Amino acid sequence: MTKSAASRKEDGGEESSLSVTADDQLYALEQQAGFLLRRAHQRSGGIFQALFADSGLTPMQFTSLVKIRDEGRVSQNLLGRLTHTDPATIMGIVNRLVQRQLIRKTMDPADKRKSVLILTAKGLKLIESLDTAARQVSSETLAPLSVDEQEIFLGLLSRLT
């Protein structure tokens, strides 16, 4: 940015002038990683909501079901770690999934003090029916990018997590 002056009215009615040089640019929100990541997340979330509306699942509920399927059986604590979800939030997710009979809690045979989460037949059938929609969320989210750009973008995002 070249040297310019930006004026704005202060609360008291006086105008102030800000000089901006190439070394001292104004903070541009639209160029910040957090802002852009949030906008991309909003895009993905909107696509998810449109494609998953009939399922009644939130993105985190779907993620939890998939992780339970992948693991076979999992403690609530481990599910929280696998989905990067805090304990209070994962507890709410688990309770809603149990209430919908998509998962069940059972005693851990190795440790009777601990319970494990298992996908029910109803839960498995639901996530299997959503496989195409789940893939479509990613496909539509990344649609503005070429195939090569998608691969690079996903690789870079993985490095940030």
The pLDDT score that the predictor gives to residue 21 is 61
Q: Per residue in 7-45, pLDDT tens? A: 444 455 555 555 556 667 899 999 999 999 999 999 999
Helix (H) or strand (E) holding 95: helix 87-99
Q: What is the mean predicted confidence (pLDDT) over 101-109?
A: 92
Q: Per residue in 44-89, pLDDT tens? A: 999 999 999 999 999 999 999 999 999 999 999 999 999 999 999 9
Q: What is the mean predicted confidence (pLDDT) over 83-103?
A: 97
Bridge-based pairing of strands 4-9 and 103-108 is: unpaired
Is the pLDDT assigned to residue 147 strictly greater than 90? yes
Top pLDDT among 16 and 122 is at 122
Please give the domain boundaries of the chain with CATH numbers for all domains: 57-134 (1.10.10.10)
Q: What is the mean predicted confidence (pLDDT) over 122-132?
A: 97
User: For 73-81, which contacts have Cβ atoms below 8 Å and span 24 or more sequence positions?
Assistant: 73/106, 73/116, 73/117, 73/118, 74/116, 74/117, 75/108, 75/114, 75/115, 75/116, 75/117, 76/115, 76/117, 79/117
